[in-house]
Amino acid sequence: MPSAEFRSLGVERVDPAEIDGLILDACIDLAGRAGSWDPTRGVTPWTWARLRLRTLVVAYLGQFTDALPEEGPAETPAPVMVDGGDGALAELDTVSLLRSLAGRRPELRLLHEGLDLVSAPPQQAILLEVKVQAALGDPSPAVTVGRMTGVRPDTIRQIVKRLLDRLRHLAAADPRFAPLADLPLLGLAA
């Protein structure tokens, strides 16, 4: 079964010893979790185990990425600083990262331009950091970013909502920015 999971993820060749090791890991993991399977929930044990097996295979494989060019960014942009609430400044470098990646990817360049048109860098930093935290699986990204910036979580959520609304309006009103509506990162796609 692990080899089928590897194939479904686009991995064709795996060392048989690695598969054997993963099968042992899966057996140990499933044995420890077997008590959590509940027949009253309507999920068969092999379906329940298959989902866990897929999770183990994905964790084993890791995340594939494209290599960045060796020359690196042309310039190192200054980090965005926001008020930490107690008078101290906190660095949120997601805007700097977007700025440096915008030189390489046209859709990121358009996103960067759109953000510059509808918001200030501190608001951009909050939006991007909330999205990063959410992508990392944070169940309460507004709370996390609120702690980082010293801003109340409800205010963080309001900033994010208003900024996304402005981006939606920009994408609808200006044909040049229409591709922003298709960016899943911002949740603009219908």
> Which pLDDT band, with edges at 50, 70 and 90, does 64 fall under?
low
> Would you say 143 and 157 are in contact if contact means Cβ atoms under 8 Å apart?
no
- Using CA atoms, how far apart are residues 92 and 76, in angstroms rounded to an integer? 14
Look at residue 158 in the predicted model and tell me its pLDDT: 92
Could you tell me what percent of the chain has a pLDDT over 70? 78
E strand or H helix that includes residue 83: strand 80-83
State residue 80's pLDDT score: 47
Q: pLDDT confidence of 66, banded at 50, 70, 90?
A: low
pLDDT of 176 higher than 50: yes
CA neighbor of 112 nearest in space, from 95, 129, 91:
95
User: What average pLDDT does the segment 13-35 reach?
Assistant: 81
SS3 content of the chain, % helix, strand, coil (to 5): 65, 5, 30
0.85 exceeded by pTM? no
Element (H, E) at 99: helix 94-102
Whether residues 97 and 155 share a domain: the answer is yes
Number of domains in the chain: 2
Which one is predicted more confidently, 150 or 6?
Answer: 150
d(CA 77, CA 83): 19
pLDDT tens, residue by residue, 94-142: 777 777 777 778 888 888 898 888 988 888 889 888 888 888 888 888 9
Residue 121 lies in a domain: yes
Asked if 54 and 101 sit in the same domain, the reply is: no
Domain annotation covers residue 134 = yes
30 and 86 share one domain? no
pLDDT of 87 reads: 52
User: b/e map of 143-167 (b: 16 or more CB within 10 Å)?
Assistant: bbbbebbebebeebbebbeebbebb
Judge if 152 and 85 occupy the same domain.
Answer: yes
Q: Which residue would you say has higher pLDDT here, 9 or 140?
A: 140
Q: Are residues 87 and 177 in the same domain?
A: yes
Residue 68, helix vs strand vs coil: coil
Residues 104 and 36 occupy one common structural domain: no
Q: Are 111 and 101 in contact (CB under 8 A)?
A: no
Q: What is the pLDDT of residue 147?
A: 87
| Inside any domain, residue 6 | yes
**Can you tell me whether residue 90 is helix, strand or coil?**
strand
Q: Are residues 36 and 124 in the same domain?
A: no
Residues 69-102 have pLDDT tens digits of: 666 554 444 444 545 445 544 454 677 777 777 7
Q: Please indicate, yes or no, whether residues 84 and 146 belong to a single structural domain of this protein.
A: yes
Whether pLDDT at 47 is above 50: yes
- Position 1 confidence tier, pLDDT thresholds 50, 70, 90: low
For residue 110, what are the domain limits? 80-186
- pLDDT score, position 72: 53
Stated as kind and residue range, the H or E segment containing 92 is strand 89-92
Whether residues 92 and 53 share a domain: the answer is no
With CA atoms as reference, report the closest residue to 29 among 49, 3, 9: 49
How far lies 111's CA from each of 116, 158, 185, in Å?
9, 20, 10
Residue 74 maps to a domain: no
**Are the CB atoms for 145 and 129 separated by under 8 Å?**
yes
One domain, residues 179 and 136: yes
Of residues 18 and 186, the one with the higher pLDDT is: 18
State the average pLDDT for the chain.
Answer: 77
